Chains A and B, each alone.
Chain A
C-alpha cells in the first residue's frame, strides 16, 4: 500500500509538471509578444516593459522561464496579476465562493442522484425507472448554459421561486438555483451509474445467496447489494467533487457569482497570464488529490483490490 501511494505520488508529480507546463506554454509561449499578452490592450511604457521582461525572465529560454515560475509555485508564490495583486490573494478571495457552490451542488447531487438511482434500480423496467432513464438523458443533453438560462427564466423570473442571482454578499438561498444547475448534469450521471450498478449487482450470485440465507429484502438490498453497488458511484463522486470546483466557469458566469471559475474566465479574456496559470495549477492539484482519494477509497470499499 505504501509503495503504491509513493508510486501514485510520483505520477502525480509528473502530471502536475506536465499539465502546468502545458498551460504555461499555451498562455505564454504561443502568442507572439507575451508582454503584450500580459498588458492586454493597455498601452505600455518602455520602462515597465523592461521591468516585466526581467521579472518574467523573458530574455531566457522558455523552459528556463517555466522553471523560474514553477519553483515560485512550489514556494507558494504564484506571481502577481497585471495590477500587482498577488495571484494567491485573488485565489483565496474567490475560492471559498466556488467551494461553497460546489459543496451545495455536491450535496444535491448525492442525495437526489443516489436515491433516484436506487429507486429506479429496485423497480427496474417499471414506470419510475423509465422516467429516470429518459429524464437523465434529457438533463445530460441540455448544455449547462442553456439549462442555466432556462432555470433563471422559468424558476427565477416567471415563477419567482428562487433568486435569479446569488446576491452580494451571496446568501445560501441565493446559491440554491446555481447549485441546482451546477449539480444537474452530475446528478444525472450519479443516478444512472447508481441504477446500472445496482441492477447489475442485484443479479449477482451473492445477492441470490443473501436471499437464500433468509434475510429481509431490506437487508439484501441495503447491506449485500448496496455496498458493492456504491464502489463505482463513490469513485465518480470523488472525481466529481474536484470536477465541480473547476467546472463552475459557466454557472458562475450566468449567475454572476465572483468565484474562481469566473475569475479564470475573466483572466483569460483579459490575458492575465499569471492568474490563469495560477488558478489552473490549483485546479490540477485538486484534481490529483481527488484521484488519490478515490484510489484509497476503492481499497476501503473493495477488499479484492490489491495494490502492488
Chain B
C-alpha cells in the first residue's frame, strides 16, 4: 500500500488518536469547543496565505480545464497522424506528439476532465457516506458503532489499489462510473473513522449536554450542534482525498484496470507510453506533471485549511 491511495495521510497526521479507536488514553481532557467564528477567522487567515492562494488558483484552472477544455486548445485530441508519432515538443506543438501521432498538449488538456470528475464525485459520495455513518456511530455508540467499526476494519484490511484491481477486473466494464464506484466503496472507511472520533470529542462538550438537558431531539443535536463542530477535520481530509482519488484513478488506469482507450486520462497516457519513455521522455513528463500538480494543489489546500481551522496543529 505504498501507493498514496491507500495511505490515509491525515488519519495519522491530523488525528493520531483515530488509528486505534479502542484505545482511550485516560485523563486526557476532551478538545476545547471551537468558537462560532471559526470559519470566518479561518477565511481571513487563508486569504493572506500564499499556499492557499496558489493551490486555489491551480484548482480553479484545473476545474475550468476539465469543464471547457476548448478554452485551452482548439486541437482535437483524437485527430492523429502516425506521421507525427513520437515527435518531441516544438514551438508549434508544445508537448510534442504521442505514439499514435496525436497532439500531446491537446490530449493532456482533455485529460483533466476524467481526473477532476472522478476526484470530485468520489470524494463527495465517500464523504456523504462517512459523515452520515460516522455521526451515527459516534453519537449513538453501542452496537451500531461497533458494527460500523468492524465493517470499516474489513475494508481497511485490503489495500485500495489491490481491491481496485480485483474488483475492476471482475466487473469487466471499466468506465468513469465503475472506477468511481469502486473508489467510493473502498474510500469511505478512513473518513468514517475520522468523523466518528470527531463526533465523539464534540459529543462530550458541555453545550451538547446543555442542549440534551433542554430536551432537544437527537436529530436536532446532530444537525445543529455536532455536525457543524465535528465536520471540520472531515472537510480538511476530504480536500486532501480529492488529490488522493485522482492519484488512485491514475494508478489504476496505469495498471490497465482503470479507464480504457479511447478514454483520455493522464494515467492511461503514461501507461500507453511506458515502453517508449527512454526515447520520448515528454510522454511521461507532461501528463505526470499535470497529474502531480493537480494532486499537489488539493493536498496543499487541505494543509492550509487544517492550519487555519485547527490552530493547535500549527
Contacts and interface: CB of A to CB of B under 8 A. Distances in A.
Q: Does A pair with B?
A: yes
A84 to B, nearest CB: 22
Given A250-B255, A269-B256, A146 B23 contact: no
Given A142-B288, A249-B162, A157 B278 contact: yes
Contacts of B25: 302, 304-305
Contacts of A11: 150, 153
A26 B186 CA distance: 13
Interface in B241-257: 243, 247, 250-251, 254-257
Contacts of B167: 26
Interface in A2-37: 4, 8, 11, 14-16, 18-19, 22-23, 26-27, 30-31
A110 to B, nearest CB: 14
B125 interface: no
Given A26-B170, A284-B158, A295 B277 contact: no
A143 B257 contact: no
**Taking chain A's interface residues, is the majority helix, strand, or loop, or is none over half, making it mixed?**
helix
Contacts of A145: 250-251, 254, 267, 270
A264 B257 CA distance: 13
Interface stretch (B72-80, B132-140, B295-303): B295-303
A304 B26 contact: yes
A305 B278 contact: no
Given A137-B303, A185-B3, A27 B157 contact: no
Interface in A273-303: 276, 280, 283-284, 287-288, 294-295, 298, 302
| Interface size range on A against B | 35 or more
B214 interface: no
Given A14-B150, A268-B166, A141 B243 contact: yes
Interface in B288-313: 288, 291-293, 295-296, 299-300, 303, 312-313
Q: Which 4 A-B pairs have the closest CB atoms?
A: A232-B16, A247-B2, A141-B296, A243-B1
Interface of A: 4, 8, 11, 14-16, 18-19, 22-23, 26-27, 30-31, 105, 133, 137-138, 140-146, 149-150, 152-153, 157, 182-183, 185-186, 189, 192-193, 196-197, 200, 231-232, 235-236, 239-240, 243-244, 246-251, 253, 264-265, 268-269, 271, 276, 280, 283-284, 287-288, 294-295, 298, 302, 304-307
Given A22-B154, A140-B9, A141-B243, 7 more contacts: A16-B157, A138-B292, A140-B295, A146-B250, A146-B284, A189-B9, A247-B161
